[in-house]
Amino acid sequence: MRVLVTGGAGFIGSHIVTALTKAGHEPVVLDALLPSAHGVTPEVPAVEFLHADVRDRLVVRAALHGVDAVCHQAAMVGLGKGFADAPEYVGSNDLGTAVLLAAMADVGVRRLVLAGSMVVYGEGRYECPAHGVVRPGARLPQDLAAGRFEPRCPACGAELAPGLVAEDAPVDPRNVYATTKLAQEHLAAAWARAVGGTAVSLRYHNVYGPGMPRDTPYAGVASLFRSALARGEAPRVFEDGGQRRDFVHVRDVAAANLVALEAADGLPAGGLDTYNTGSGEPHTVGDMAFALARACGGPEPVITGEYRLGDVRHVTADSSRLRGELGWRPVVGFAEGMTEFAGAGQRASAGLS
């Protein structure tokens, strides 16, 4: 299968390229090598490569000829530096997706696998002892300031117990990036309906592993901790460290893309299928900081009690659909993955803070 991998020079994309090549497929990479992701001396992929933006209609159209499927990873990631970044996020992620899909419609490429994200869910799934499954609103600044980090029941104010989020959970994007990731899915669904295409969105949880970019306003928490440790500094853990996440290894995420691309031919055309892509083993951010610090030989993390208003408390996936329907199995365990990550290289990025 010849596969166009947009964003294939990035953290996850480059692992997908490796997985495709190993499986005997033919990846073609299209990537703009954004300075926010690559710094000033980007590494160019060792496969067929187009240095271009997904918004470039002519290049994208030409790149699609002879392609069997598209694996769309290109996106601006992270929270950015503030709301002023919104036009850049919407441009790269949503206009970019629209241009790509329009070209696919035109050229006749009918299989799409999209890098989705768990950020579309906002706060995860919660249960109140009295009211069952509820959707807590944003946490109140006065609760956070007083160190009351657990979301509360909107009906009775009781502290809630977190659960696993399934694909049919209501969406609730809480920042610009999350909004663009959800819009990408809506565009993909509209494209699939219009052209009879097959679209799969893999909603990745917190991806980590070798090649993860160093700390920037665009980086994930594992990367920030790893970078602090590399400087000999203690990782600074916000809130009380009890935030639950699902840390999934980048090679497992690449494998999920491979199974989705290979299965896409057999999936029903005309719609979008969404699959949570997590390890199925929730851990707290505090656990992760301690595991990394141990593997790096210290220093011990500091629990700071600081908070960011936009952060969600817990969000962990139920990834059983991806296992059951597409036969995917994550193979890198948490302890093993964090130990490898502690010793692995991180990619230099621009450090645009």
Ligand X SMILES: NC(=O)c1ccc[n+]([C@@H]2O[C@H](COP(=O)([O-])OP(=O)(O)OC[C@H]3O[C@@H](n4cnc5c(N)ncnc54)[C@H](O)[C@@H]3O)[C@@H](O)[C@H]2O)c1
Binding site for ligand X (CB under 6 A): 6-7, 9-13, 31-34, 37-38, 53-55, 73-77, 92, 96, 115, 117, 181, 204, 206-207, 213, 220
| Window contacting Zn ion (CB under 5 A); options: 122-130, 196-204, 266-274, 330-338 | 122-130
Residues 252-281 that bind Zn ion (CB under 5 A): none
Per residue, the 3-state secondary structure of the chain, as one string, reads: CEEEEECCCCHHHHHHHHHHHHCCCEEEEEECCCHHHHCCCCCCCCCEEEECCCCCHHHHHHHHCCCCEEEECCCCCCCCCCHHHHHHHHHHHHHHHHHHHHHHHHHCCCEEEEEEEHHHHCCCEEEECCCEEECCCCCCHHHHHCCCCCCECCCCCCECEEEEECCCCCCCCCCHHHHHHHHHHHHHHHHHHHHCCEEEEEEECEEECCCCECCCCCCCHHHHHHHHHHCCCCCEECCCCCCEECEEEHHHHHHHHHHHHHHHHHCCCCEEEEEEECCCCCEEHHHHHHHHHHHHCCCCCEECCCCCCCCCCCCEECCHHHHHHHCCCCCCCHHHHHHHHHHCCCECCCCCC
> 283 - beta bridge partners?
245
Closer residue to Zn ion, CB minimum distance, 181 or 314 = 314
155 binds Zn ion (CB under 5 A): yes
List 138, 156, 331, 352, residue binding Zn ion (CB under 5 A): 156
Closer residue to ligand X, CB minimum distance, 121 or 149 = 121
Closer residue to ligand X, CB minimum distance, 53 or 239 = 53
Least gap, CB of 142 to ligand X (angstroms): 31
Least gap, CB of 186 to ligand X (angstroms): 15
131 binds Zn ion (CB under 5 A): yes
Closer residue to Zn ion, CB minimum distance, 153 or 188 = 153
Closer residue to Zn ion, CB minimum distance, 87 or 170 = 170
If we measure between CA atoms, which residue out of 117, 119, 157, 121 comes closest to residue 139? 157
d(CA 111, CA 108): 9
If we measure between CA atoms, which residue out of 37, 134, 33 comes closest to residue 80? 37
128 binds Zn ion (CB under 5 A): yes
Closer residue to Zn ion, CB minimum distance, 128 or 250 = 128
161 binds Zn ion (CB under 5 A): no
Least gap, CB of 36 to ligand X (angstroms): 7
Residue with tokens 């502690």: 342
Closer residue to ligand X, CB minimum distance, 152 or 203 = 203
Closer residue to Zn ion, CB minimum distance, 149 or 191 = 149
List 46, 62, 130, 140, residue binding Zn ion (CB under 5 A): 130
Residue 198 binds: one of ligand X, Zn ion, none (C-beta under 5 to 8 A by kind): none
d(CA 258, CA 329): 12
| Window contacting Zn ion (CB under 5 A); options: 96-104, 157-165, 187-195, 286-294 | 157-165
Q: Is 48 exposed, middle or buried (0-12, 13-18, 19+ CB in 10 A)?
A: middle
Residue 207 binds: one of Zn ion, ligand X, none (C-beta under 5 to 8 A by kind): ligand X
Closer residue to ligand X, CB minimum distance, 11 or 328 = 11
Residue 33 binds: one of Zn ion, ligand X, none (C-beta under 5 to 8 A by kind): ligand X
Least gap, CB of 158 to ligand X (angstroms): 31
Residue 156 binds: one of Zn ion, ligand X, none (C-beta under 5 to 8 A by kind): Zn ion
Least gap, CB of 132 to Zn ion (angstroms): 8
Least gap, CB of 320 to Zn ion (angstroms): 27
The residue ranges that bind Zn ion (CB under 5 A) are 128, 130-131, 153, 155-156, 158
